[in-house]
Chain A
Amino acid sequence: MIPTLGHGALMLALLIALAQAALGLAGAARANERWMAWMRPLTATQALLVLMAFVALATSFVRHDFSVYYVAAHSNSHLPLAYRLAAVWGGHEGSLLLWVLMLVGWMLAVAWRSRGLPLVFVARVLAVMSLLSAGFVLFMLATSNPFERLLPPVREGSDLNPLLQDPGMVLHPPMLYMGYVGFSVAFSFALAALMGGKLDAAWARWTRPWTIAAWVFLTLGIALGSAWAYNELGWGGWWFWDPVENASFMPWLAGTALVHSLAVSEKRGAFKAWTLLLALLAFSLSLLGTFLVRSGVLSSVHAFATDPKRGLFILVFLALVIGGSLALYAVRAGAVGLGQRFGNLSRESALLLNNLLLVVATGSVLLGTLYPLFLDALGLGKVSVGPPYFDSVFRWLMAPLLLLLGAGPLLRWKDDAFSTLVRRLRWPMASGLLVLASAWLFGGAASAWSCTGYALAGWVLGGVIEDLLSWRANWRQLTRAQWGMWLAHTGVAAFVLGVTTVQTHESSRDLRMQAGDTVALAGYDFRFVDAAAIAGPNYAAARGRVEVSRAGQPVTTLWPEKRVYRVQRNPMTEAAIDSNPVRDLYVSLGELLPDGSWTVRVQHKPLVIWIWLGCLIMALGGALAASDRRYQRRQGRP
């Protein structure tokens, strides 16, 4: 009964979405107030229906309704409740439903918070978002129905993939999707502006908080994914340049460029055509990511079960949405004004350079991710592109960007002089040298790239300090946007520090250990006491006990596990990690050898937690900036 209700709700939602799109676009074109007045109530209706469908699916999981194929494929009667709920988005069909839920959520937010905006504009925005929603719901109903029945129902489900039975799984996809889908707001704002012909500073001010909010979620989503991989995959890696990771990183890079470009468009009216393009690009990359992950075009540990029919549907959807918006751009963007003048050395030109570097970075990630496909499609054989490529290209692009990050906010708008700029760079230079010197002191000699990383982390931090200090006389006038910017940039510095330190100074040992053996690493002693068999709710495991001490003093006890989940039978490595702000100690079990000993990997990772803390700080900065009072005024009022 409940699955049928859910299915019905989705079908209704499709009809409402189509109706809303038609009424919105036609109403705006003809300035028909009565039609446009339907926008908000229809948005609420769509939201309610999609929520009903989502709740129906969640309920089916909670009640172990194995007559629903999706539930049977991703759950099990022994699966703990939290993971049963997370399993709703554990597979392709359910994750699409989550996507649409997020979309109608953002639509609701836009409808609610846009009372001060012109109705024509809002109608267009909601109409475009309805078209997107209709597309995704149609995709579900046609090729990926989460409510497909399995009759007769099986008695026991296939269980959720053990890799997904982790707290990170509960948060990571929702955060990520909030980000992906959030960029559809900027996308819709851009299309509405192109359709309506009005693109002013006010437009940029309206768009900014939505874009920053989406960026915040995406940052958190990516950081969670990385932290989850580190915790769950068992060998201490946190970023693999996997096609699916890249699919989330590209919208993030474009989104970062967009956030900065919007700043210029808002303040100085410049870059408008470029900002429009970026707004279209960011969401287009989200859609492209969806395609890459679900079509089977790229191989990835992350990819959902693939089906060429699904791939074709998304491809056509992509062609229509992205092609359509870029076509409209081609026709209309040329008439956008130039905004105010700015000199060659100014905040504007620095932000222009920032955008250039970020967009080239996005393009490079796209190139690397799709290159194997390009060659294969041209019949030129197979090649694989992995971390060595991405790491080296990325470093070369990020270094100048970080240099810009430290100095850029210190540049004046409109026009600046190099001589006075140099004076303002005291703190960045001092701070860069300080961090570098400390790194040498604590860590010893390091490679050129390491030194660059340390110096740049310090430089960026110094830039924030310099800016802060320059405001000390007028600190009461500081806005949340400025505090947010400093916080976000500090987060970047922390991130760079974490990455540089880990990559330069991490160490590991891979060896066979008998009960009672000890291994020394980075000043710590790891004693492998023994391994015992234990049982979890839906798995059996061997749990090792490793006692860690330093110079004779006990530090901690670690319990790495090797689990075998009862249903899916893949052995899973649960690493044991001891974290603190200074270092992580990471122990994972390998295999049980015939003589009773275990292969064990022991790792020491200094400052690794700052990778994710840095992202968190960036996100907090963004959230602070988005909450600036300037945006809190009823949107639309000057």
Chain B
Amino acid sequence: MKRTLLLCAWLVALAAAAQTVPVPSNDAALDAHVQALAAQLRCVVCQNESVADSQAPLAADLREQIRRQLREGRSDEQIRSYMTERYGDFVLYEPPLSNRTLMLWFGPALMLAIGGVALLRLLRVRKRLPDEAFDPDSTF
């Protein structure tokens, strides 16, 4: 008996906690659009999850906000601006290309270029070396 009461108490607690959870509509297209936009935003509370995936109450609120704004006809860009105005660039899951993120976006290509050039130069240098320079074993 006591156990049942305890279980019920927990379920009620869950239900109470769920009061702020928005009710997803049964409109699949809108759902998909909300999810797509939410996946581009970082949940500021559970910072390693997107707003789409996070179970945090704030994430649920933000998803609801996105849904409301999409219904009002706002564009993706407008909704993203809405979020960054309030939470800063940090909320964008994909860092925007700006002066300070140049190194981030071009870093890999730069590394590849430097590595590639080094590789080519290495091959060229090796080609020009006489046979005596090559030695399968070495003690130094």
Interface of A toward B, CB cutoff 8 Å: 197-201, 235, 237, 240, 242-243, 268-269, 272, 299-301, 332, 335-341, 344, 349, 352-353, 356-357, 359-360, 363-364, 367-368, 371, 374-375, 380-389, 393, 396-397, 509-512, 533, 535, 540, 542, 562, 564, 571, 573, 590-594, 599
Contacts and interface: CB of A to CB of B under 8 A. Distances in A.
B21 A509 contact: no
A337 B135 contact: yes
B108 A197 contact: no
A380 B140 contact: no
Interface string B53-94: 101000000000000000000000000000000001111111
Nearest to B53: A235
A593 B136 contact: no
Contact of A533 (B8, B26, B108, B137): B8
B26 A510 contact: no
A359 B111 CA distance: 9
B93 A197 contact: no
Contact of A594 (B19, B26, B49, B137): B19
A542 B14 contact: yes
Contacts of A383: 89-90, 95, 100-101, 104
Given A336-B140, A337-B137, A386-B94, A240 B48 contact: yes
A339 B42 contact: no
Contact of B119 (A332, A341, A356): A356
B1 interface: no
B42 A511 contact: no
B48 A242 contact: yes
Contacts of A197: 139-140
Given A337-B135, A368-B104, A384-B90, A594 B18 contact: yes
24 contacts: A198-B139, A243-B48, A272-B138, A299-B48, A335-B138, A341-B131, A344-B123, A349-B123, A353-B119, A360-B111, A367-B103, A367-B104, A371-B95, A375-B100, A381-B89, A384-B90, A386-B93, A388-B93, A389-B94, A562-B14, A571-B55, A590-B21, A592-B11, A593-B15
A510 B24 contact: yes
B83 to A, nearest CB: 12
Interface in B17-44: 17-19, 21, 23-24, 26, 28, 31, 35, 40, 42
Nearest to A361: B108
Contacts of A268: 136
A375 B103 CA distance: 10
The 3 tightest CB contacts between A and B, nearest first, are: A337-B138, A388-B94, A335-B140
A385 B107 contact: no
Interface residues of B, number: 62
B89 to A, nearest CB: 6
A537 to B, nearest CB: 13
B44 to A, nearest CB: 9
Contacts of A235: 53
A341 to B, nearest CB: 5
A335 B135 CA distance: 12
Contact of A389 (B11, B18, B104): B104
Contacts of B111: 360, 363-364
Nearest to A375: B100
Given A509-B31, A512-B26, A199 B138 contact: yes
A299 B123 CA distance: 42
Contact of A591 (B10, B18, B40, B46): B18
Contacts of B105: 389
A332 B10 CA distance: 65
A243 B48 CA distance: 9
Tell me the interface secondary structure of chain A in the complex: mixed
A198 B140 CA distance: 6
Contacts of A364: 107-108, 111
Given A335-B140, A383-B101, A360 B14 contact: no
Given A371-B104, A511-B31, A338 B139 contact: no
Contacts of B101: 371, 383
A535 B6 CA distance: 10
Nearest to B137: A200
B123 A339 contact: no
Contacts of B42: 384, 386
A242 to B, nearest CB: 5
Contacts of A381: 88-89, 100
A380 B99 CA distance: 10
B24 A599 contact: yes
A484 to B, nearest CB: 25
Contacts of A384: 42, 47, 89-93, 95
Given A341-B126, A364-B108, A367-B107, A200 B26 contact: no
Nearest to A386: B93
Given A368-B104, A511-B31, A339 B88 contact: no
Given A339-B135, A592-B18, A332 B140 contact: yes
B26 A356 contact: no
B140 A594 contact: no
B48 to A, nearest CB: 5
Contacts of A510: 24, 31, 35
A593 B119 CA distance: 61
A299 B11 contact: no
Contact of A593 (B18, B40, B95): B18
Nearest to A363: B111
Contacts of B31: 509-511
B134 A511 contact: no
Nearest to A595: B23
B133 A338 contact: yes
A535 B4 CA distance: 9
B139 A382 contact: no
B39 to A, nearest CB: 9
B11 A380 contact: no
Given A200-B136, A383-B90, 15 more contacts: A269-B135, A299-B48, A344-B127, A356-B112, A363-B107, A367-B108, A387-B50, A509-B31, A510-B35, A535-B7, A540-B10, A590-B21, A591-B15, A591-B21, A599-B23
